Amino acid sequence: MEPTDPQEACFEAGVKFGSLYHQFAGTPISPDSAASLAAAMEEAIENQPFCEAVTVSVRTEVLENAISEGGADYTELTGRLIDVEMRIEYEGVTVETSMAMEDGYPLMQVDEVQE
């Protein structure tokens, strides 16, 4: 059975999230570099096919707390430090997705599918 356009659009969203998370996890981040890192993440993922928009928001208070718990002026990027929203458009289907912390885990999810 061939996948439907909405299924393909959701698959594309998953590819983008996997790329975003695993490409940037572990990157050094500080309050001074947070905005430029978020912008670089957005721009890198928006280069991929069918990706229309990406918004990466750094959770500033969580970042500052992580740094204060460590021994340096930075920490490494993990899912708990960012919230992400992404819009994928594939063959007339728009998929709205997001990533946010849920029960201590960065959960990536499909929020809405519009045909």
DSSP class of residue 67 equals H
- The pair of three-digit structure tokens given for residue 35, joined into one six-digit string: 């905005």
Contact between 34 and 66 under an 8 Å Cβ cutoff? The reply is no
The neighbour count for residue 100, using CB atoms within 10 Å, is: 17
Annotated binding residue at 108? Answer: yes
- The pair of three-digit structure tokens given for residue 104, joined into one six-digit string: 């201590």
The annotation places the binding site for substrate at: 12, 108
The annotation places the binding site at: 12, 108
